[in-house]
A and B are shown apart, each in its own frame.
Chain A
Amino acid sequence: MMRLEQVCRDFQVGDQVVHALDHVDLVIQAGEYISVMGPSGSGKSTLLNLLGLLDRPTSGTYWLSDKDVSALGDSELAEQRQRNIGFIFQSFHLLPRLSALENVELPLVLAGAPPKERRARAREVLDAVGLSARLDHRPDQLSGGERQRVAIGRAIVMRPGVLLADEPTGNLDSKSGDEVIEIIEQLNRDGISLLVVTHDPDIGGRARRHLVMHDGRIVGDERTGLQ
């Protein structure tokens, strides 16, 4: 469902051009569970941003659900993001003034869903991540693990095909981190594609497909487990 063909992403740093992604070819099927590992600056985050349509390739083509999205304008990109992609960030990125329920509702608000419908949908999703007792709590009244679960709820409330997680457990203790991983793995088992960028070999090892990046290239692509 996602296909990169000879994708490059160059950054200008001073008078030097950095190839954050260097002619990357990648095919991701629906329902895959992929981890992306590699040293800092190897291009992991750039790959994630590009797959999540937050960034555009300098050259090459990106096919998302058989649609060339490498040259779309801002509003079309925004629509594609809204419909197809859920993000989970290391630092949660919840809006502090909104309750858990309102944070989860936010994508539906942006999509223009009617209030009744989005409220019901947000409750459903928070129930799924085990936070039905915390609907009206603001982020500062929640623990780190709970905050990340709210963020997961927000990521899946639009029922996207792909969940992109950038160091989802980076700011959590190991117990909360395990809970979070459990939840997103369960979502993957229910059919969503999952791509996790991580430094942690334990978490990376749980995926069924392991990408290793180095200097903007994919240097390792192994599949394990029940493939």
Chain B
Amino acid sequence: MRANDTSRLAFQSIRRYPLRTSMLLLAIAIGVAAVVLLTAVGEGARRYVTGEFAALGTHLLVVLPGKAETAGGAAGMLIGATARDLTLDDAAAILRSSRVTKIAPVVVGTGNASWRQRQREITVLGTTFEMLDVQHWRMQLGQFLPQIDMDVSSPVCVMGNGVRHEFFDGANPIGEWLRIGDTRCRVIGVLAQAGVTGPFDTDELVILPVASAQALFNAAGVFRILAEAVSRESMPAAQRDIIEIITARHQGEEDITVVTQDAVLSTFDTIFGMITTALGGIAAVSLLVAGILIMNVMLVAVSQRTQEIGLLKALGAKQTEILLLFVTEAVYLSVFGAVLGLTLGNAGTFAMRTLFPAIDFRAPTWAMAAAVFIAVISGLLFGILPANRAARLDPVQALAGR
């Protein structure tokens, strides 16, 4: 039998039972559409989150004291192996790299803050004026830290929005004197509410010039140094520069760790990629169910068409030809179903994009290809059993309709 005759005959029997055919197509289409929609949601969420992260500045490098040998476990926290502290001079040295545009040293500690009768334990962040740009913070009131040298202390502070409300309620805090530990500082600005950005909850911070904070905590080193690279592409080079500079300053010992926000970003990327794959996998199960449905329906079709199969055999059809005929029919059903499902799924993602323009819901190409592939393969595999039963029918029994 010619190939196009086989496909023509298979197509004719698909058309002959419109209800059966449309039910099957629907089942397969739902499976494929589910894969498209769910992966579109996963992929949309991934792009949304990484996009938001990228907006925070992806050129950021974080320099930590101590060498992180393995994941987990704070670097340099082992007793007897305490790393050399990073100092303000180290921070200034980093700026010598042509690939670093800005740096902001960070000192963190907790202190007891008070204003009149109110007092509370508070997180104190010591840094420089460049922190505002590096972290993309915005001011609500007043101004950020003054542009002074890193090693110069100044009795001023900037506070987060949450701290301001706790101490001053709705009143204007600018110009008030806040007591932190043994020192006093004048409030010169309030940060706009931003929630948790990076490692800090900005709403719950009081920010001092880095030298003041070092004096407050009686610390010579800094907690970490934030550095902004010239561009995203120059980040690996900037990372090498920083390690080189600090290693040279630390008598040839490489005792720092440089973390890029890229690493954080790629972690998110990986997590969301896995979620998308998992969603796609769950949806693919529905394709398997559709495959079993194909098998059932094809088995019914074989028993409905027993006499026809007997006749084809009497007219000289071989077992392999009957097999091919029924498998072709199953593959046709799954291909049409898959195409229908792709159409429905993409219409669905289009509708979601229209309803939620903020998120770019779009199924990845690999997911669509995989959905179609699985649909067709399951049609093929689950079509073989019924087709084989048809091919093996005894012609005499089949002609008699038994």
Contact = CB atoms under 8 A, between A and B. Distances in A.
Interface string A36-66: 0000000000000100101100000000000
Contacts of A55: 395-396
B5 A87 contact: no
B5 A111 contact: no
Contacts of B321: 110
Contacts of A106: 312, 315
Interface string A73-102: 011001101110001010001010110000
A201 interface: no
B1 A54 contact: no
B311 interface: yes
Interface in A141-172: 154, 158
A99 to B, nearest CB: 12
A83 B316 CA distance: 8
A14 interface: no
Contacts of A110: 1, 312, 315-317, 321
B315 A97 contact: no
Contacts, number: 63
Contact of A78 (B5, B9, B317, B399): B317
A74 B315 contact: no
Size class of the A contact interface (CB-based, 8 Å) = 20 to 34
B313 interface: yes
A79 B316 contact: yes
Interface majority SS (helix, strand, loop, mixed), chain A: helix
A49 B1 CA distance: 24
Interface residues of B, number: 24
Nearest to B8: A109
B395 A54 contact: yes
B307 interface: yes
Given A97-B16, A110-B1, A75 B396 contact: no
A93 B312 CA distance: 10
A107 interface: yes
B302 to A, nearest CB: 16
Interface string B297-330: 0000000000110111111111111000000000
Given A75-B320, A78-B317, A95-B308, A109 B396 contact: no
Contacts of A95: 308, 311
A65 B1 CA distance: 25
A112 interface: yes
Q: Which of B307, B310, B314 has the most CB atoms of chain A within a 10 A radius of its CB?
A: B314
A97 B12 contact: yes
A83 B311 CA distance: 15
Contact of B319 (A74, A87, A112): A74
A89 B316 contact: no
Contacts of A79: 316, 318
Contact of B314 (A52, A74, A75, A97): A52
A96 B9 CA distance: 13
Contacts of B310: 93
B399 A111 contact: no
Nearest to B13: A97
Interface string B270-286: 00000000000000000
Given A75-B320, A109-B1, A93 B307 contact: yes
A75 B313 CA distance: 10
Contacts of A154: 315
A54 B318 contact: no
A82 B395 CA distance: 14
Contacts of B2: 109, 112
Contacts of B315: 81-82, 87, 106-107, 110, 154
B1 A112 contact: yes
Given A49-B396, A54-B399, A87 B1 contact: no
B1 A75 contact: no
Nearest to A106: B315
Please give me the 3 A-B residue pairs with the lowest Cβ-Cβ distance, nearest first: A82-B316, A78-B318, A54-B395
15 contacts: A54-B395, A74-B318, A75-B318, A78-B313, A81-B313, A81-B314, A82-B315, A82-B316, A93-B307, A97-B16, A106-B315, A107-B316, A109-B1, A110-B315, A110-B321
